[in-house]
């Protein structure tokens, strides 16, 4: 049975489909020694390589799901040559995994790592309205107008952010729950209102809460995984 190359790379746990498409575009993937087109399919008899490394398809890996508390200064990338402080080298997990989404270098907190490409695609679809919760501190006191404006949406990146839940926790601290993932969204929202983020910590993604020390990780519990799959049941995948 033929399988699209990006799906194949995600199913064997090499990377997400989104990452696979980037590798294909960059000419780093070959099928039987030839660079494929986007959407090309592979059969059981085909030889697939990424940057010269043979990708075996004979044994399907057991799915891995980790909740990691990313420290400030660690970059969420699998490119180990470009970033010496990358998440993969920091964790040193014995099997190939990749992060689900990103937290910028200056931010900390919860991020998932997995080898399950399908779950990555479902979580990353912004239109699925999956919640992500953050605790944020800014450089000067906030007020009711700040909370209301953040809640109702802020103009950034030539668009207005979706309505979201925002609650003040202290003179300069607030909690925010987003259902979209624009580039550096919270920092840009604050900057648009004349504030500068001093610390940003993600404490929840959907049903999974941050409960491990900084720099540590744990596996999802069976209950968490069941709940997560239920939440993702009707989610659209990024690719067919």
Using alpha carbons, select from 140, 232, 234 the residue that is nearest to residue 195.
Answer: 140
- Pairing mode, if any, of strands 173-178 and 165-170? antiparallel
CA separation for the pair 187, 150 (Å, rounded): 11
Give CA–CA dist 118/112, Å, rounded. Answer: 13
Spatial separation of the C-alpha atoms in residues 212 and 218, rounded to whole Å: 7
Q: Give the dihedral sign, CA 89/92/94/97.
A: negative
For the annotated catalytic residues, the residue numbers are 104
Closest listed residue to residue 103, CA positions, set 232, 203, 239:
203
Check: CB of residue 205 under 8 Å from CB of residue 178: no
Residue written as token pair 């209301």: 148
* Helix/strand/coil for 93: coil
Q: CA distances (Å), 106 to each of 71, 163, 177, 185, 199, in order?
A: 9, 25, 19, 13, 8
> Could you tell me the two tokens for 157?
């990146």
Cα(132)–Cα(117) distance, rounded to whole angstroms?
Answer: 20
């Amino acid at each position: 049975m033929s399988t699209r190359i990006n799906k194949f790379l995600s199913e064997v746990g090499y990377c997400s489909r989104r990452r696979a498409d980037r590798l294909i575009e960059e000419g780093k993937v070959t099928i039987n020694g030839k660079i494929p087109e986007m959407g090309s399919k592979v059969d059981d008899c085909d030889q697939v390589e990424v940057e010269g490394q043979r990708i075996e398809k004979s044994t399907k890996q057991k799915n891995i799901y980790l909740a990691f508390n990313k420290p400030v200064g660690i970059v969420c990338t699998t490119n180990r040559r470009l970033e010496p402080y990358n998440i993969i080298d920091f964790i040193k997990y014995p099997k190939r995994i990749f992060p689900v989404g990103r937290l910028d270098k200056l931010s900390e907190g919860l991020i998932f790592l997995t080898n399950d490409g399908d779950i990555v695609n479902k979580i990353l679809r912004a239109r699925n309205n999956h919640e992500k919760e953050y605790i944020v501190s800014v450089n000067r006191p906030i007020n009711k107008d700040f909370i209301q404006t953040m809640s109702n949406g802020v103009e950034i990146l030539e668009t207005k952010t979706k309505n979201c839940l925002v609650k003040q926790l202290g003179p300069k601290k607030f909690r925010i729950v987003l259902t979209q993932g624009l580039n550096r969204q919270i920092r840009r929202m604050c900057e648009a209102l004349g504030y500068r983020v001093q610390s940003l910590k993600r404490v929840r993604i959907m049903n999974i809460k941050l409960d491990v020390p900084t720099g540590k990780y744990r596996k999802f519990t069976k209950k968490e995984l069941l709940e997560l799959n239920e939440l993702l049941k009707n989610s659209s995948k990024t690719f067919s």
